[in-house]
Amino acid sequence: MKLDVKELIKELSSLDGPSGYEKAVLELIEKKIEPLVDRVWYNKVGTLIAEKKGTGSGRLGIFAHADEVGYVVTKLEKGLFARLETIGGVDPKVIFAQRVKIYTAKGIAKGIVGVLPPHLQKEEHRSKVPSFDKIFVDLSCSELGEYVSVGDICVVDVKPVELNGKLCGKAMDNRAGCASLILAAQLLRNIRNYQDVYFVFSSQEEVTGLGAVSIAYELRLDRAIVVDVTHGDVKIPQFVQIKTGEGPALCVGPVIDKEFYSKLYQTAQRNNVKIQIEPAPGRSGTDTDEVQLSGTGVRTTLVSIPLMYMHTPVEVVDPRDVEETARLLALATTIE
Amino acid sequence: MYLKELTELDGVSGNEQQVREFISDKIKDKVDELKVDVLGNLIAYRKGTKGGRKIVLAAHMDEVGFMVTNIEDDGTLAFAPVGGVETQVMVGKIVRINGQTLGAIGYKAIHIQDKEQILKPLSIDQLRVYIGAKSKEEAARQVKIGDYVAFTTTFDQENNRLTGKAFDDRAGCSVLMDIIDKIDRYEDDVYFAFLVQEEVGLRGSAVVVEQIHPDIAIVIEGTTAGDDPELPEYQWATHLGDGPAITFMHRGYVVNKRVYESIIEVAEKYSIAHQAKRRTAGGTDAARFARTGAGTAAAVVSVPSRYIHSPVSMIDLNDYNNTVLLLQKILEQGEAFAR
Amino acid sequence: MIDLIRKLTEAYGPSGREEEVHNLILQELEGHVDGYKFDNVGNLLVWKAGTTGKKVLFDAHADEIGLVVTNIDERGFLRVESVGGVPPHSYVGHRVRFPNAIGVVYVEGETEEERKKNFTNLNLDNMFVDIGARNRDEAMKVVPIGSFGIYDSHFFKNGDLLISKSMDDRIGCAIIVEILRRVKKPRNTIIGSFTVQEEVGLIGASVAAYSLVPDVCVAVDVTDSSDYPKSFKRHSMALGKGPAIKIKDRASISNRGVVEKLIEVAEQEKIPYQMEVLTFGGTNAAALQRTRAGIPSATVSIATRYVHSPSEIVSLEDVENTVELLINYAGKGV
């Protein structure tokens, strides 16, 4: 029953789970990971935890958020149109001319995010960048269009594809991370973990971070490794460029525990795990920031999978980076 | 007063160990308990004679600075600020990377700038640190991505004015150390918390509440002044020489009324010069103490400081001494304080 | 309930100075609760014990936005900064009420051009308060630095519409007081949380649930009512459509399970309701849900026109339907 990394990522990406509505994603993850661990359970605010007892002492949490960015219907307009609000940070430019799915009480309605055709565009339409106040969804192409209501959740309707061995689709942020945790759990069949390991598939990272911080408080972790994604193959002024295909990036900075980082780094070196180093001069913008501060403090590290075109429907990851991340996580559980 | 030693140490947010080790060494034999927590905060404890309440006096050890974010092909280093540092104070300074390697933040000579460039405001992606290396490989032998970078200002004292870097908040740290030296026992249990990472989001303080569960917290800061010719008097935050500044409100938090009024009461009772902090901008660890765990009645007392978050700041010696005196008197009130 | 709403909305209670509001609430709840306490940051917590062991916490913030005096010039004019999200234009030419004085707020401008510029870019930095003092000393005696002021505005009723300052969030406080007055024998324990300093940073709500640790938190606050000329085009909330069950705002997403239960209860009891997505702002639910190991939380809102102005408008019918909904939710939804 060995899991194939590409199939796993594609399966996870195909499911819809915007922040606060992760149930379908978590149910699949639960199915995949339950045979590999001692027990699984959900906390009160929608986070899935899988526990594997260790041979020694202490508690290590390994986090990946299960939610993705998405949209919610805010208002219905005459003629079967709807207005949207984002869940998480989404650039309005990337939703134009996309097919979308809306989860209504009666089933999934189809919609199209409309654009004025070039023939009818005035100069003002071409030059101004639209905001969500100007965007609308056309529901008239769906039999369930009339059942769309305020509060219904919406996602872009897209299936993952393979591009020269890389995977391209929505929600690679952070299904790639979730996949790496599941693969790590699989590797733990042959590696004895020292600390008790808690694989945490957290909710709502894209909006509030509630899922991670609540379970960190409850479990009173000693250490944590947060797995998320980072911008790959793009030049950001002042910053070193992280590349896809060269392994996960280890973060350095105030939100990273120096002692734990050092052991993680040495573990990677000793085992020839491909890694890159990514500086964060302040907050990292991931669950690491709040997990570090929970309770009396947690020794945190952040491992990021390089990803292109973040928060668009065509996010790209290299499955080799996901596998290398899984390997690093499994080895990290042997740190005493 | 430990300001010379404290301000000349490097302790950018996330890299406070030099400062922590210095303070720990000086106070370890003077307190009942001393520990370093998971985040690196140094927490000292003195048991009270009546032990009714728990009071925390807090100051942060970290200063603003930079981090190396890339090593360029030409051997110069790209960097990003750690904490709030305005680009305009960065140019033409000597910095120290990772506690050892010196570097210069240079800029193109005025002779060879075109008119447009002279008038344009600086942006940080134009700046680099030059350590004397000619290539990426040469630079990488001495520094690495993620290294912390600090200003190198030395301390000076003249005319009752003290100048140097990082009075925000080594002034607070020094005040706490002076109080530890001056008085021995109080009625309440007192914790002296030397915090990390205040400048990057009030982070160190976030884990102190769950360790101590304090009743009252007083944060001692080096706060902004603004009393210079560029700002009209009614827009000043504080004025050097008018005494410790007592905050009634800052970003995200209105100071607990009972504690605020009690502090003023003590200052007036002993005729200690004091002033209200007259702008609500800026935040402190008091907000974090208030909003964490079961909550805390938190207040702020500050040494006014000109030019904070720049390589050279200034405080007044009398303000500093009056701050120590005020906190001393507060502790001497014992259980009567902020009842 | 109208009298209760009038008293609460007219009370003085800027962030950090909520005592008068708390005292009023305690008076109104006399004989209706089993106990109360003030926590470390000054939140007022009251409770009425049930029999099932389950606890639902209803939260409303007691504070309102306002101004704080930071400087006084030699002629006795006050300089102020905002306490919470104060729109400066709401004060121009209007009055601000301090504990011991009433002042008029106006704008600087030495020339026509400067005046025009300042009025277009209103900012408390180019505004001042006139309390009629002749010099700084006189002003200091009446309104010392660190004094807090609020809108000097009064309540009035216009048919179904109630108009006053600080419906945000005294209407929430009134609703919770009314719930506690009407429920004689609760099934589940009801905790009333009247929190401080929401408007400056959700300070009170960050700690309010820490000691009593409820099973569910419901914040009762205001939301935008987008039913006036060219109001926010993406909002669907309006007066008269009933309590608004919030899906999300910019600070949190309501717990899906709690939302579904609220809808179920409303449908069962035939209480009108509307769904709400707010494209800005946040409520105390964002902080309450993060308490300890996490608490499922949601917000039920009252549609309100002109939020943060001196004349916020709500529908009395909406208020009464909200009381009904929450009483039923407390009874069978938890």
Which pLDDT belongs to residue B233? 87
d(CA B282, CA B219): 14
Contact A85 C256 (CB under 8 A): no
Which pLDDT belongs to residue B55? 96
Across chain C, mean pLDDT equals 97
Q: What is the dihedral of CA B83, B84, B85, B88, to 10 degrees?
A: 160
Query: Which amino acid does the sequence have at C177?
Result: V
> pLDDT exceeding 90 applies to what percent of chain A?
91
Residues of C with CB below 8 A from A151's CB?
245, 247, 259, 275-277
CA dihedral sign, ordered A67, A71, A75, A77: negative
Query: Per CATH, the architecture of A70-156 is what?
Result: Beta Barrel (2.40)
Cβ-nearest to B125 among A238, A252, A282? A238
Chains A, C: CB pairs < 8 Å: 90
Which pLDDT belongs to residue B232? 86
Best residue in A19, A23, A85, A152 to probe C by mutation, most C CBs within 10 Å? A85
Across chain A, mean pLDDT equals 95
Name the CATH superfamily for B3-63+165-336. Answer: Zn peptidases (3.40.630.10)
> pLDDT exceeding 70 applies to what percent of chain A?
96
Q: Which segments in chain B show pLDDT lower than 70?
A: none
Residue B57: what are its φ and ψ, rounded to 5°?
-105, 125
Q: Provide CB contacts within 8 A for A170, sequence distance 6+.
A: A13, A68, A155, A156, A158, A160, A313, A314, A315
Which pLDDT belongs to residue B185? 87
Which pLDDT belongs to residue A85? 97
Q: Is B320 on the interface with C (CB under 8 A)?
A: no
Task: Decide which of 3.40.630.10, 3.40.1390.10, 1.10.3720.10, 3.90.79.10 is the CATH code for A5-68+170-332.
Answer: 3.40.630.10
**Which chains have at least 3 CB atom pairs separated by less than 8 Å from chain B?**
A, C
Query: Which amino acid does the sequence have at C81?
Result: E
Residues of A with CB below 8 A from B201's CB?
282-283, 289
pLDDT tier, C261 (very low <50, low <70, confident <90, very high otherwise):
very high
ipTM of the complex: 0.94
Mean pLDDT for the stretch of residues A57-84 = 96
Report whether pLDDT(A1) > 70: no
Please check whether residue A231 is in contact with residue A240, taking contact to mean a CB–CB distance below 8 angstroms: no
Name the residue with higher pLDDT: A130 or C80: C80
User: DSSP letter string over B2-68?
Assistant: -HHHHHHS--BTT--HHHHHHHHHHHTTTSSEEEE-TT--EEEEE--SS---EEEEEEE--B-EEEE
Residues of C with CB below 8 A from B284's CB?
none
d(CA C261, CA C251): 21
Task: Decide which of 3.90.1150.10, 3.40.980.10, 3.40.640.10, 2.40.30.40 is the CATH code for B65-151.
Answer: 2.40.30.40
Residue A224: what are its φ and ψ, rounded to 5°?
-145, 145
Q: How confident is the model over B111-147, as pLDDT tens digits? A: 888 888 888 888 898 999 999 999 999 999 999 999 9
Contact A254 B13 (CB under 8 A): yes
Q: Where are the domains of chain B?
A: 3-63+165-336, 65-151
Q: Where in chain A is the domain with CATH 3.40.630.10?
A: 5-68+170-332
Mean pLDDT for the stretch of residues C113-131 = 95
Q: Where in chain A is the domain with CATH 2.40.30.40?
A: 70-156
Mean pLDDT for the stretch of residues A103-123 = 84
pLDDT tier, A116 (very low <50, low <70, confident <90, very high otherwise):
low
Which pLDDT belongs to residue C334? 86
